[in-house]
A = this chain, B = another copy of it.
Amino acid sequence: MFFIGDHKYRNQGAQPLTDSVYSKGRWMLNFKAGSLFPRTNMTNFTKLDDFLTRNRQQHLEQLFELLRIPSISADSTKSSDMDRAAHWVADRFRDAGLKTELIPGDGPALVYAETDPVPGKPVVLVYGHYDVQPADPIDLWKSPPFAPEIRDGNIYARGSTDDKGQMLTHVLSVLAWKACGEKLPLQVKFLIEGQEEQGSEVLEAKLPEIAKRLACDVIVISDSSQYAKGQPAITYGLRGIAYFELRVHGPKMDLHSGSFGGAVTNPALALARILTEIKTADGRIQLPGFYDSVVELEPSEREMWQSLGFSDDRFAESLGVDALTGESGYTTLERRWARPTFDVHGLLGGYQGEGGKTVIPSWNGAKISFRLVPNQDPKTVGEQLRRFIAEHTPPGVRVEVIDLHGGRGVVVNPDSKYMKGAVEAVEEGFGVKPVLIREGGSIPIVAQMVDALECDVLLIGWGLDDDGAHSPNEKFCLEDFYRGIRASSRLWHHLAR
């Protein structure tokens, strides 16, 4: 059901999706009219709703417990915290009587759990992650990243929105069904991993071995954003990513820039030149072949996003920038959701302390990534990058390209039968009908899981764009946490129908 997983659309260059349903504007009609989705009879949910209302404080305390564990997958000194987080999640499942297992691998363990099978009904696999991004720059946090607190109706902590808070809504909703003594109308499986922020290597390696256990009809993922505050969304596309570290090596030791300056290639300047050559000032990436396999936006899609009334001015103001920039010929939403791009995440090397030190560094580096769209392949982009750098390395330095992680982009079929159930559940949880959007971020493992399990997927995110998912002061709206649990509790019902 993923276009990227469909042989028809893979590796065919920039061929438009002309015979796809989504090129015919049908979903737009659905989204606008809303007539295809009759409202549910809610009388069966009184008991469940009461339970959720009574347990708000307890649910929050459980989230706080998990948020207090600094499970930073990028930081190798945090491996015992990774273990603690994995066990914490597993213990919740065990406490509720789910068949639970920690699947070990070469890295953080996978947490797997399942409710009882329900013959004749779909099987849902909830995917989420218990690892979080690093917390630096730590001095910009108003409250410590791993000491969650509520301010202005938001939960502030690293991982609150990405993804502990969102992931937990599904765990708590299943636990609520069990606690109320209700039989779940379908089987729910959980796969909660600990390496999403670092490329899901353990899951990728284990996938063939555990595919049978994970077998399902639809994967449910809450690791994305609503369109705006008060306007929930269902995300039908994600970008992919190809992440690298560049290291430009110059002289074998740091040199005094007075005695040597002017006679050797400065590694930082060589790096700057290479980075500048990768992307033009008007946002076009210069790696030969980079755009060959990019699937272009459909006119109907551009039209639909136009109708969302996105304001460039308000967006720029919210980010504190005086101008938005990007690839010529595309709107801001198109640039963020459906066009590939190139970014630098950090600069490395040389003197970084107070005051001045007059050295020519022996090396400088950069953390960089390309965001990809269907049908770009991260491995191909890596090869294109290596060729480009080989041709653009100035004399006097040597450039090392280190692969960090990668994953393909995905576009979900909006006509999926599960999409209808999801729209109803979200509307009942949030009180507002969701819109259909894409998201610029990546969940690299998604395309691989869909390929391996041959299933459908639902990306229903409870976050907000300004949650600061990878920034200081990450937050998650407290009410959206509760609405997410409620929507999730309805989801099992609607997907089972």
Q: Once bound together, how far apart are the Cα atoms of A279 and B239, in whole Å?
A: 36
Residues of B within 8 A of A137 (CB): 254
Q: Among B136, B264, B469, point to the contact of A319 (Cβ < 8 A).
A: B264
- Please tell me which stretch of A49-57, A206-214, A332-340, A411-419 contacts chain B, meaning at least 4 of its Cβ atoms lie within 8 angstroms of it: A332-340
A223-242 vs B, CB cutoff 8 Å, 1 = contact: the mask equals 00100000000000001010
Q: Please, which residue of chain B has its CB at the minimum distance from the CB of A239? A: B258
Residues of B within 8 A of A43 (CB): none
In whole Å, how far is A194's beta carbon from the nearest beta carbon of chain B? 13
Given A347-B347, A347-B349, A359-B470, check contact A252 B319 (CB 8 Å).
yes
Q: Once bound together, how far apart are the Cα atoms of A404 and B394, in whole Å?
A: 29
Residues of B within 8 A of A343 (CB): 257, 261-262, 266, 269, 360
Q: Once bound together, how far apart are the Cα atoms of A279 and B340, in whole Å?
A: 30
Contact A358 B353 (CB under 8 A): no
Q: How large is the interface on A (under 10, 10 to 19, 20 to 34, 35 or more residues)?
A: 35 or more
Kindly identify, within residues 35 to 78 of chain A, every residue whose CB is under 8 Å from any CB belonging to chain B. 73-76
Residues of B within 8 A of A366 (CB): 268, 347
Q: Among B239, B353, B359, point to the contact of A471 (Cβ < 8 A).
A: B359
Given A262-B283, A346-B350, check contact A371 B257 (CB 8 Å).
yes
Residues of B within 8 A of A258 (CB): 239, 241, 371, 439-442
Q: Among B197, B256, B315, B342, point to the contact of A441 (Cβ < 8 A).
A: B256
Q: Among B257, B266, B268, B351, point to the contact of A136 (Cβ < 8 A).
A: B351
Residues of B within 8 A of A349 (CB): 346-347
Contact B470 A254 (CB under 8 A): yes
Given A268-B366, A344-B269, check contact A241 B358 (CB 8 Å).
yes
Residues of B within 8 A of A268 (CB): 275, 344-347, 366
Assess whether A311 is interfacial by the CB under 8 Å rule.
no
Q: Among B261, B275, B326, B341, point to the contact of A272 (Cβ < 8 A).
A: B275
Q: Once bound together, how far apart are the Cα atoms of A245 and B354, in whole Å?
A: 10
| CB pairs A–B below 8 angstroms (17 shown) | A243-B358, A251-B321, A253-B468, A257-B343, A259-B441, A259-B465, A262-B283, A263-B325, A265-B321, A276-B276, A322-B396, A324-B396, A345-B356, A347-B350, A352-B352, A356-B367, A358-B441
User: A residues engaging B (CB < 8 A)?
Assistant: 73-76, 133-134, 136-137, 140, 197-199, 225, 239, 241, 243, 245, 250-266, 268-269, 271-273, 275-276, 279, 281, 283, 315, 319-327, 332, 335-336, 339-361, 364, 366-367, 369, 371, 394-398, 404-405, 439-442, 465, 468-473
